Amino acid sequence: MSKPDYYKLLGVEKDVSGKDLKKAYRRVAMKHHPDRNPDDKASEEKFKEVAEAYEVLSDEQKRATYDQYGHAGLEGGAGMGGGHGHGGGGFGSFSDIFGDVFGEQFGGGGGRRGGPARGADLRYNLDLDLEEAVKGATVKIRVPSLTTCQPCSGSGAKKGTRPKQCATCGGVGQVRMQQGFFSVQQACPTCQGKGSVIADPCNSCHGQGRTEETKNLSVKVPAGVDTGDRIRLSGEGEAGDSGGPKGDLYVQVSVREHEIFQRDGKNLYCEIPIGFVEAALGGDLEVPTLDGRVKLKVPSETQTGKLFRLRGKGVIPVRGGSVGDLLCRVAVETPVNLTSKQKELLTELQSTMKGGKNSPKQSSWFDGMKNFFA
C-alpha cells in the first residue's frame, strides 16, 4: 500500500518552517493519540503515520531526501523508526504530547531533564573552484568551536572535585508548581535544569565545562559536488554540555564562477569565438577542457549558436551515474579595426555574393518581412 504524502498528512505546505511544522504535528497527534481514542485501530495507525511524517520532516537531511526522492529515498532505514519520541511503531502517553505542547513542563517523565546535552551542530561555508568541485580535493579549514574542557573533563568542577546534587530539585532539574487547576513543572531556578551545582568551579572553563578553540580540519571533498551540497563531519561540532556528546559539522559547498565554463548538473558549457572566415571555410580548433586541450573539427558554413558536444568531458555526478558532456557553443565574431586593403577585399567579396544562395536565412527573413507588410 502506498504511503501518504507527509506534508498533506500534517496539513502543511512544503515551505513550512520548523516552528509551524511542530505546531501542526502537535495538533494532529493530539487528535489521533490512542489515549484519546481507546480501542480505535484507525486512530492508532493514523497516529503512527503522523509521528513518522514528523520524524522525517523535522530532520533537515531526511526532509531534503524526501523532497527530492519521495518515500523511495527513505527506504532502507533512511527515515523510519526509533528516532522520535512518538515514532518507531509505538507511541507515548497522552501526557507526552502535553509535555511537547507546554515545553516539556507538563506531564510525567523526567528522563531528558538534568542530564548531559548533545552539542550544537555547526555550519561552515566552503568556497571551491570548479576544478576542485569536479575532480574532488582535500581542503584544510579552520573552525571556531566549543570543545570539552580538558582539566575538568567537561564537568565544570575543579580537578579533584565533582558537581553536587542540587538540593532544591533533588537532582531532577525540574520543580513542580501548582497553578490553579494545572500542576506545572519548570526548570529548577537553583541549577537551571542541570540537576547539579558546582561549588568549586574549574579555573580553565569557569564552571562551563567547555572552552573556545579553533580546530584545524581536513575536509575530503568528493568529486562531482555542486553548489548546495553538504558534507557532514560526524562529531566535529560543539562539545555537549555537562560532558554530553559532540554535535556534527556540516560543510556547505559553494562553487565559484569559472571564467570559461558554466555548469548545469553533470554537463559543462563554454562559448568559443571564431572568425567568420573559419566559420565559412571550416577548420580545426583547440578547445579547453578540465583535462587539457582537445581538437574540435568545425565544418564549413558553421553558424553562430551551433553546439558541439564533447562526450565524457563533463562531470562525474557525486551520487553516481554516467559522466556528463562538454557542450561548446560557437559565436562567429565580426572582424574589427579593418585596414583599407581588408575593407577592399570584403567589398569585392560582397559583390560576388548572391543573397538567396549565400545567405539563405537573410533572404528568407526579408521575404517574410515583405509578406508581412503586404
Question: Model confidence over 318-367: pLDDT tens digits?
Answer: 888 899 999 999 999 989 999 999 999 989 888 888 756 777 676 666 67
**262, 357: one domain:** no
**38, 97: one domain:** yes
pLDDT at position 154 is 82
In one-letter notation, the amino acid at residue 219 is: V
Number of CB atoms found within 10 A of residue 93's CB: 15
**87, 45: one domain:** yes
The answer to whether residue 283 sits within a structural domain is: yes
The answer to whether residue 217 sits within a structural domain is: no
DSSP 73: G
Average of per-residue pLDDT across 291-300: 92
Question: In angstroms, rounded to a whole number, what is the distance separating the alpha carbons of residues 312 and 324?
Answer: 6
The average confidence (pLDDT) of the chain is: 82
Question: Under the phi-then-psi rule, with left for phi > 0, alpha for psi from -120 to 50, and beta for the rest, what region is 368?
Answer: alpha
Burial 154-187 (b: 16+ CB within 10 A, else e): bbbbbeeeebeebeebebbbbbeeeeeeeebbbb
Beta bridge partners of 187: 174
pLDDT at position 81 is 40
Q: Please report how many Cα atoms fall inside a 13 Å half-sphere around the Cα of residue 260, on the Cβ side.
A: 12
The answer to whether residue 319 sits within a structural domain is: yes
Give the domain range for residue 347.
342-374
Number of domains within the chain: 3
In one-letter notation, the amino acid at residue 251 is: V
314 within 8 A of 324, measured Cβ to Cβ? yes
**66, 5: one domain:** yes
The answer to whether residue 301 sits within a structural domain is: yes
pLDDT at position 85 is 42
**328, 353: one domain:** no
The answer to whether residue 112 sits within a structural domain is: no
pLDDT at position 355 is 59
Question: In angstroms, rounded to a whole number, what is the distance separating the alpha carbons of residues 132 and 125?
Answer: 15
96 — pLDDT class (breaks 50, 70, 90): very low
The answer to whether residue 367 sits within a structural domain is: yes
Q: pLDDT tens digits for 195-207? A: 888 888 888 888 8
In one-letter notation, the amino acid at residue 97 is: I
Last residue in a domain, options 101, 127, 149 = 101
**95, 66: one domain:** yes
Cell of 59: 530532520
83 within 8 A of 55, measured Cβ to Cβ? yes
Alpha helix (H) residue ranges in 234-354: 276-281, 340-352
**78, 9: one domain:** yes
182 — pLDDT class (breaks 50, 70, 90): low
**90, 12: one domain:** yes
Cell of 10: 500534517
**370, 311: one domain:** no
* Percentage of the residues of the chain whose pLDDT score is greater than 90: 33
223 within 8 A of 314, measured Cβ to Cβ? no
The answer to whether residue 161 sits within a structural domain is: no
In one-letter notation, the amino acid at residue 57 is: L
DSSP 199: S
